[in-house]
Amino acid sequence: MSMRNVLIGLSVVFWAIVIYYSYAIPIPRAQYGVIFLGAILELYILTELMSMSGGGRENLFADLKRAYGPGNRLHAALLSLSAIDVAITTSYIAWNFQALYVDRAGRALPHEYVMAAVFSLVMIYLTWRSFGTTFLAVVVAGFGYGYFGMYAPGPLQHGGLGVERILRTVVISVDGFFGFLTQLVAAWIALFLLYAGFLKGYGAFDLIMRLAFRSAKYIDSGIAQTAVLSSAVIGSVNGSQTANAGMTGSFTIPLMKRNGVKPETAGAIEAVASTAGQVLPPVMGAGAFIMASLITGVTYVDVIIAGLIPAAILCVTIFVAVHYVAAPQLDNTNPDNLIQNAMPRSEFLSESLKYGIPLAILIYKLGVEQVTVGTAALWTTTAMLVTGIMFPVVESLIGSSDETATESLKRTLWETLDGAREGVVVLAPVTIILAAINGVVDILTATGVPTAISLTLLDLSGGVLLVAAILSMIICIILGLGMPTTASYTIVALLVAPTLISQFFLPEFASHFFVFYAAILAGLTPPIATCVAVACGIAGANFWKSCIEAIKISAPLFILPFVFIYHPEVVSAEFNAQSLTSGTFALIGAIAIIHGINYRFVFGRAVTAGARLLFFATGIVAMVHPSRIVQVGALAVVIAMYVLQTVTGRPKPIAVLKGAFGTSGDSVPQTGEAGGK
């Protein structure tokens, strides 16, 4: 037996516990959260040891010998000690849950403080292993601010929390590392990531890529759009734009480069597409679950409905932008050559049903029956398990497959086991960072820093909403540096969104969507831009040039959050004339911004610069301005400029847009900075 097989076996046991709890709910969620965190940390440590052994595919003794071999001994020892401490601490807390959580709340025994201190160090170490020094600095700064708050400047100053108070907050009170975020992951998000693991294990990504390749037959920029489609779909369920860029980018970026796209452009397209996936319903990179738990009186379905209009705006504008930048660079590639083994139509239909049925069940359970998210996730995951195993077996029985029924069953069972392992691999880092964030946020809350930020922001802005919104966006980008979507949104939702709600009286949905969209910008914003860094690493591209390309493609994403501020009806979870009208203005304005930045004009340098600036400025006004009359005026200017450009035929922008949607053979001009000879 190899270490990999041990991990698979333990993953199956872990998921059986998760599924059983979701079905029966036999113990309080807080107590279950302790057990869940302990189990996933142990599996993460085993995964790390397995990677140190070179993949864990030999026999167990050989794998362990290699994991603890030269060059690995220090980290292997630290991981082993961490595993022992996690087992002791979480077992103790789970066993003494009633005493710690209820009977002795606010008090602890001396040995419990020692236990909490060691566990905190273990969490900090595992956080560093998962996300590196950038996020380690965030965690350490949170602990440091809690203890040394008396030295903080101005309104951020507080009396300082003692060591015992901090340890009670993050461990002993069964809050902090075990708090509501960990419990949310345990009850809701975990099953969706198991669903994502099954999708990968059963080969759903191959079907997604085939669907994307088929679009290349009808769209000039189809090869590049494969990155947008696949990254958006996969990114919407994995909760990390950076991880998604690494996962799908390892395939889409080389594909784009082979077909003529420059490395900087390929990296930028992948980074932006991975970012867009984080806001796509129904999962929204797991952010939807957290938003539903933070906003009082709303359901998960309300969050999904509220996110539809802005997601549509973002997807359409990125689609157009990618067409503008990629079509001139792409070679004339035959899309049929992209798929080496053609899939028969019957098999394509079967595969579509295999993955479509669980998705339909998810939509039905949430949208029609309106059950809890945990129940919907349980039904969806179970349905994926059933269809993933049964469809290939049935195909074998009716003779539409080259495999026998036994061979199909054996293969799908191994795919199921691998999907369970993949679910753990994806879930573990998400759980670790959310647990760490929960600890930091609880410390900050105990110091009163949310109130301090609120007062500081109000003071700096002078009570002007626009200034406050800009400052809030800057804070969100800074706080989101190096974090996955779930973590970055959580911290800004708890620290920044309350200010917009209480001081500027914005609706809760508008405030939360503002900070949600602003937080994911950290992955595209230099000098950190972790999502771009991963993508350009795969592309072999220059980091700064890739950042510039990414910002040009995603420019409306930096403006869209302000639409939620001045037109909150766009995210009101209601489809009426006002919300649809505001959404339409925002969409046309966003396309104008993209057109001004990325379109290849054929005018002289001065006229081109003026046209770019005018399209960009009027696009912003059409998107954001609170006066409908001013928006109409800006929209009229945009339309007039389109018409003028079309009449002059230099070149015709409408024809290019038709080419983007596959309704015309026209394409973006292929030569020269201005697009012509």
Residue labelled with tokens 């998760």: 18
Q: What is the pTM of this model?
A: 0.77
pLDDT mean across residues, the chain: 84
DSSP 621-677: HHHH-S-HHHHHHHHHHHHHHHHHHHHHTSS-HHHHHHHHTTS-S-----SSTTS--
Sign of the CA dihedral running 259, 263, 267, 268: negative
Per-residue pLDDT reduced to its tens digit, 90-112: 999 999 999 999 888 888 999 99
Per-residue pLDDT reduced to its tens digit, 170-197: 999 999 999 888 998 898 888 888 888 8
Are residues 86 and 41 in contact, defined by beta-carbon separation less than 8 angstroms?
yes
Q: What is the mean pLDDT of residues 449-477?
A: 83
| Tally of CA atoms within 13 A in the half-sphere of 297 that contains its CB | 4
Per-residue pLDDT reduced to its tens digit, 482-522: 677 777 888 888 888 888 888 888 999 999 999 999 888 88
Are residues 520 and 241 in contact, defined by beta-carbon separation less than 8 angstroms?
yes
Q: How confident is the model at residue 339 (pLDDT cuts 50, 70, 90)?
A: low
Residue labelled with tokens 């800057």: 474
Q: How confident is the model at residue 614 (pLDDT cuts 50, 70, 90)?
A: very high
Tokens, residue 322: 């990618």
How much of the chain exceeds pLDDT 70, in percent? 90
Residues 6+ apart with CB under 8 A from 428: 40, 41, 43, 44, 47, 130
Q: What is the mean pLDDT of residues 533-546?
A: 85
Are residues 392 and 403 in contact, defined by beta-carbon separation less than 8 angstroms?
yes
Q: What is the mean pLDDT of residues 10-29?
A: 93
214 class by beta-carbon count within 10 Å (0-12 exposed, 13-18 middle, 19+ buried): middle
Per-residue pLDDT reduced to its tens digit, 247-305: 778 778 887 888 788 899 988 998 898 888 888 877 776 778 888 888 888 888 888 89
3-state helix, strand, coil in the chain (%, to 5): 80, 0, 20
- Give CA 444 to chain center in angstroms: 24
Q: What is the pLDDT of residue 399?
A: 75
* Nearest residue to 281 (alpha-carbon basis) of 237, 341, 344: 237
